[in-house]
Structures are given as C-alpha cells and as structure tokens.
Amino acid sequence: MYNKEEITQWFMSLQDDICDELETADGSAKFLEDPWEREEGGGGRTRILTQGNVIEKGGVAFSAVYGKTPEKIQRALQLSPSDFYATGVSIVIHPQSPMVPIIHMNVRYFEMDNGIKWFGGGIDLTPHYINLSDAQYFHQALKEVCDRHRPEYYDRFKNWADDYFYIKHRDESRGIGGIFFDRLSPTEETSLDTIFHFVQDVGRAFAPIYTHLMQKNSNLAYGEQEKNWQLVRRGRYVEFNLVLDKGTKFGLDTQGRIESILMSLPPQANWQYNYIPPIDSPEYQTLQYLKKGINWVKA
C-alpha cells in the first residue's frame, strides 16, 4: 500500500511534469519557483508563470503540511483531535486571451494519525465565452478518465462539481464545471491504492486537455469588448474563490502561506455595477449556459 511519502513524491513529480508541458505550450515564459516553509510544520514550492504568449498568470503549487489539526477544521469535518498530514497540487491558469478558458485543478491527500485517510480533487473549466465543442471535448476527456475506474464516477463527480462550483449569491455556475470529489476513503470494495490510481489519472489528464485548448483558441481574434467581458468574468472567479472555496478556507485555517493560497486570483478583474449584456450578444449567450445539470458530453 502506498504511504504518505510515496504519495507526496508523486505529487511533486506531477508538478514538474505539468510545468514542463505548460511552458512548452506557451512557448515564451518560464515558471519561477518560490519555495516556502510553514512554521507549524511542512511547506511547499509555488511556481508562477506570468506574461507568457498564452498564459497571463499561471500558478502550479505543491504543498505538504502537517501538525495539530486546528479546532475549526475538526468541528467542520466532525473529527476527533489528532495530528494531520496534507499534500497535493493545485493549479489555476488565467490566459491572456478571453477566447482561452481559465482552468483549475486540484489533487490532494489527507490523513490523520488516528487512521483517517482520504483523497480529493477535480478539474473544472471556466470559459469567458462558452464554445460547445470545447465543452464537449473537455467533459468527454474527463468522462473517459472516470470510466477507466468506475462507471458511476463521471455522473457522480460531474454533479458534485455542478453543486460545488456554483456562485450562490449570483445564482450562476462559475463555468462549465468538470469533476469534483472529496473525502474518497478506503472501503471494503475500494482500497487506498485504487483511489490513488484514479487521482493519478486525473492529474495526468490536465496537461493534454489544457494544452489542446490553448493551441486551439489562443490565436482567435478579439477586441476591447471581449477583454472587458474577460475582466467581468474574472471578477466572478474572484468572488467564488474568496467567498466560497473550501481550499482557500483550509489554507487560511491552517496558517498556510497567503501568497500561495491566493495564487488563484487573476492579475486584473472588474466589477461593473449591475452589468447586464445585450440579449443578442455572445456575452449574454454565455450566461445562459452557466447553469447546473447541463449534459455537456451531448451538447
């Protein structure tokens, strides 16, 4: 059975591989590494790429932290007092072009010294403009990953993503979702190793999916209207991450490094008061798709 050291090493190698592939696809900028240590235990290495040909700001962060489980997390997760260990990789990419989507991935492992162990993670896509063929490609790729493991995974985790990546105060989805799962623990039918193999496949799927979307869309024409809309949609992204995202809250509750926790934020965003795009505009059409329950595979 895999132990936490082996899982940690694999997450580190995943960070290396994804950074290499994103640099190649961007063709210009390089990731800068910012190693850090957590006073309470552990640390990580945050890698940031800025002002590339395709990527305006991208973060690929690895962390492995440990120590006493904060009381707030114990209460939220209904856990008994214990020490914890958490490791994983988190990614958010904000592109230069509004025709290229924002993407997020997180894969993580959590264990406590009382024997509790689980994996979590997922990938979701946030297009500024929803292209149905891209949405179908994205969800089909994730479905194929899920289907290699358990036939019920895609529908289960797709619905979980629809519910999770939902901006309640706006009554709209953050993007077109993807898959999301949390607290996948060993059972009589599923071992920890089996769950880890699924998480590994999710992690490996990221670079091929996103570099395809980068190459397909980065040369499409756009103008001031599209850039303004990109900033509005980035504002929605910020609202979700600061108000609703559990990963942000976990990082803050465990005294994580603030620069790494907030690496997901875009370099610029706008909040226009009561902005409603014209009904016949591409922007308005995108808003019609920001809903739960859409079958993107058949879109």
Q: Which tens digits make up the pLDDT trace of 31-56?
A: 999 999 998 899 999 999 999 999 99
Segments forming the whole domain that contains residue 223: 4-298
Q: What's 144's domain CATH number?
A: 3.40.1500.10
CB atoms within 10 A of CB 127: 23
Predicted confidence band at 254 (pLDDT cuts at 50, 70, 90)? confident
pLDDT of 227 strictly over 80: yes
More confident residue, 209 or 78: 209
The pLDDT score that the predictor gives to residue 1 is 82
Give the per-residue SS3 of 100-126.
CCEEEEEEEEEEECCCCEEEEEEEEEE
Q: Is the Cβ–Cβ distance between 183 and 118 less than 8 Å?
A: yes
Q: Say yes or no to pLDDT of 285 above 90.
A: yes
Distance CA 185, CA 195 (A): 8
Q: What is the pLDDT of residue 117?
A: 95
Q: How many CB atoms lie within 10 A of CB 36?
A: 15
Considering only CA atoms, which of 59, 126, 45 is closest in space to residue 90?
Answer: 59
- The more confidently predicted of residues 238 and 68 is 238
**For residue 260, what pLDDT band results from cuts at 50, 70 and 90?**
confident
Return the pLDDT at 3: 95
Terminal alpha carbon distance of the chain: 40
Asked if the model's pLDDT at residue 20 lies above 90, the reply is: yes
CB count in 10 Å sphere of residue 297: 15
- The answer to whether the beta carbons of residues 60 and 19 sit under 8 Å apart is yes
pLDDT interval class at 66 (50, 70, 90)? very high
> Looking at residues 89-113, what average pLDDT do you find?
97
Cβ-proximal residues to 136 (8 Å cutoff; 6+ apart), any chain: 296, 297, 298, 299
pTM over 0.85: yes
**pLDDT, average across residues 113-138:** 96
Could you give the number of structural domains in the chain? Answer: 1
The dihedrals phi and psi of 247, each to the nearest 5 degrees, come to -65, -40
- Could you list the active site residues? 104
**Three-state SS at 200:** helix
C-alpha angle 104/217/241, rounded to 5°?
Answer: 20
DSSP assignment string, 52-112? -SSEEEEEEEEEEEEEEPPHHHHHHHT--S-EEEEEEEEEEEEESSTTSPEEEEEEEEEEE
Say which range, 4-18, 98-112, 180-194, has the weakest mean pLDDT. 180-194
pLDDT band at 234 (very low <50, low <70, confident <90, very high): very high
Q: What is the mean pLDDT of the chain?
A: 94
The Cα 291–Cα 289 span in angstroms is 6
